[in-house]
Structure 1
Amino acid sequence: MKRLSPLFVVFLSVILLSSCFRNTPSETKQKHDSSNSIETSDFSSDNFNINSLEDLYQFLTFNDDRYPLISAHRGGDTDGYPENAIESFQYWAKQFPLIIECDVRLSKDSALVLMHDETLDRTSNGTGRIGKYTLAELKELRLKDSNGELTNFQIPTLEEALTWGKGNVLFTLDVKQDVPYGLLSQIIQQTNAQASVIVITYNANQARAIYRINPDLMISASVKSEKDLVKLAEAGIPDNRLVAFVGTSQPKKPLVELLHSHGIKTILGTIGNLDKQAKSRGYQVYAEYVEKGADILSTDNPGEAQKALDFYINKRNIKSPFINR
């Protein structure tokens, strides 16, 4: 692990109290015939050997031999496979271990469902706001793929996704504003999915709120500067409950080194310009992002990004007791 410069360490010692960060005791593409829905109930990829919260904390703690992962943005939609659909999650989980980033919204009758937009129009054959429909009504709709083609796939509930996902994938849950954290925590606990879940937050106040409701959950927090890390420490979030989303452009080296020195892994959002850069320069660019300190790549191109990670992992003979590969 690289050491911070002496000047930088002195600066940090002034603004940070080491006790604030002390850990608490732990606890490609393929066309799909949308006339036939994938049978997901018996599918098991067993990509992950994570059986407890302790396993999850260890796996998501940075070390020099960390196993880099892809996070499929909105579940990795591709031809014939819609975003935020369990069938799309399964399509990728058959190919390699990954994190599924998906979006959680609230129905009229307080069911938690997976959908990015506030309205149904873009990604389904429904219209209007999701919050005006009951779960039963939402289940009558069908999802569209990235080309706008209608599939036979339904809008999944969070409960269905988490039940399917254990052992197959990890999840980062982008929880929309109308979703109560208490209800979210209840569904995660009911499905016994705490060791499969990371909850996305966008500021220290949100991180504090979810931590107070369920202090065992892993949290993805936005960290764009040292000040953001200080705020999370002041909110009482332990290092071993955090992964840091560092933005959609390459972060400065001192920030990456600071996070890694606290054992905090980084998520780099390649969605947008960095994915475009990889498309123009070649998929090996994704490995360069990892070389520069990204531990998880949140991407719209999971297949291409994984090619680079496979090369990176094989070249360095990286293995993890938590990955069955």
Structure 2
Amino acid sequence: MKTAVYLTSLLLLASAMADAQDAATAPLHRIHPQTAQDLQAVLAFKGHHLPFVSAHRGGPDKGFPENCIPTFEHTLQHTFSMLEIDPRRTKDGAIVVLHDATLERTTTGTGKLADFTLAELKKLHLKDTGGQATAFRMPTLDEVIEWARGKTILVLDQKDVTPIERAEIVTRHKAEAYVMLIVSSFKDAVAVHKLNPDILMEVMIPTVAKAEEFDRLGIPWRNVIAFVGHTPPQEVALYDFIHRKGACCMAGTSRHLDLKVIRGEVADIQEIEEGYRSFLSLGADIFETDIPVRLGPMLHKDEIALKQPFFELK
């Protein structure tokens, strides 16, 4: 039994070393704003679409687990992408990156994440989309933020780390140029903006009425991406309102169109390209997706994206 475990560990290590070597040599599709104002410029609506993607949980794939730095590298090797990730607190107060409150689905551990220390969690292996253990380990939020500098835009979901706590972490890292927050309420948005007016936020704004309510808060629209819904609304007036304010609209596709690809209902994503482009026609600018490696390249040509400030293949 011990021999089998040892051999498995050796195989995992060999796989990790190969993946790390590939990641080190392959160029990345980098988005690298240098200041908070640069990030505002990248995400501002400019009267035309440069559609790109936000990789849900970093873009997991076969051999590449959710919320994992090698997975982030894998995503950026294929496409320009923001990376949405999930901070959670450990028993001893550290903050790691994992989606679930429990360990079984995405790691080789069992039980509640909050019942384990960082040292204990660092001993676990992460599982890929097929449930197979990999050699990769759970990163801390600090590790991910420092890795992302000069490479991409991180979007920190809430989970059990409050908006103010996440805003303080961004401030401590001086990462306002490339780390933004998902906030779950307008009240939270006001609190974050008061703490640090340079932090950008992803805010749920699914209707014109909600857009008008947000507009009355006094938070500059340059500080937000409007998340319009996991099922993009058909209300053209909503997208028009947000665009007139100078902000971009993000729509989720992970719960519908992406599933056709993930479940094998279509042989190739090109078969449902019209579905994605119909959301662009409505006014969506950015897609939060579970399949960034396939969707990103379909939405834009690298040579077009490379003409944008702060976009670089390197």
- TM-score (normalised: structure 1): 0.82
1:64 aligns to 2:47 (yes or no): yes
Match of 2:312 in 1: 324
Query: How many angstroms apart in 1 are the aligned matches of 2:258 and 2:29?
Result: 28
State the Cα distance separating 1:42 from its structure 2 match: 6.5
2:184 partner letter: Y
* Structure 1 match to 2:78: 95
User: What are the ranges of 5 or more consecutive residues in structure 1 without an aligned counterpart?
Assistant: 1-32
Residue type matched to 1:68 in 2? P
Tell me the CA shift for residue 232 of structure 1: 2.2
Amino acid across the alignment from 1:300: D
* Distance in 2 of aligned mates of 1:82 and 1:109: 24
Correspondence for 1:154: 137
Aligned residue for 2:150, secondary structure, equals coil
Matches of 2:225 and 2:164, distance apart in 1: 21
Aligned length: 290
Question: Letter of the aligned partner of 1:74 in structure 2?
Answer: R
Residue 66 (structure 1) shift: 4.1
In the other structure, the counterpart of 1:21 is none
CA drift of 1:166 comes to 1.3
Per-residue deviation at 1:298?
A: 0.6
**Corresponding residue SS for 2:226:** strand
Query: What is the rounded CA distance, in whole Å, between the counterparts of 1:114 and 1:317 in structure 2?
Result: 29
Tell me if the contact between 1:62 and 1:264 (Cα under 8 Å) persists in the aligned partners. yes
AA of the residue aligned to 2:273? Y
User: Which residue of structure 1 lines up, in the alignment, with residue 238 of structure 2?
Assistant: 255
The answer as to whether partners of 1:204 and 1:228 remain within 8 angstroms in 2 is no
With over 3 angstroms needed to count, the CA separation of the structure-2 counterparts of 1:303 and 1:45, relative to structure 1, is closer
Spell out the pairing of 1:5-154 with structure 2 (5 A cutoff). Answer: 34-36=12-14, 37=16, 38-39=19-20, 45=28, 47-154=30-137
| Aligned AA (2:228) | V
Report the Cα distance in structure 2 between the residues aligned to 1:302 and 1:244, rounded to whole angstroms.
Answer: 20
Whether the 8 Å CA contact 2:81–2:296 is kept in 1: the answer is no
Cα distance change, pair 277–319 in 1 and its aligned pair in 2 (3 A): farther
Cα deviation for residue 263 of structure 1 reads 0.6
The whole-number CA distance in structure 2 between the counterparts of 1:295 and 1:126 is 38
- Letter of the structure 1 residue corresponding to residue 40 of structure 2: Y
Deviations 1:192-216 (A, max 9, x none): 3211112011221221222222221
Amino acid at match of 1:293: G
What RMSD over aligned residues (CA atoms) do the two structures have, in Å? 2.4
Shift of 1:236: 3.1
Distance 1:182 1:282 in 2: 40
Q: Is the 8 A contact 1:63 1:263 kept in 2?
A: yes
Partner of residue 288, structure 2: 298
TM-score (norm: length of structure 2): 0.85
Correspondence for 2:178:
196
Match of 2:272 among 282, 292, 308: 282
Secondary structure, aligned partner of 1:35: helix
Structure 2 residue corresponding to 1:219, chosen from 183, 201, 207: 201
Asked whether the equivalents of residues 142 and 151 of structure 1 are also in contact (C-alpha less than 8 Å), the reply is: yes
CA contact (8 A) 1:67 1:319 kept: no
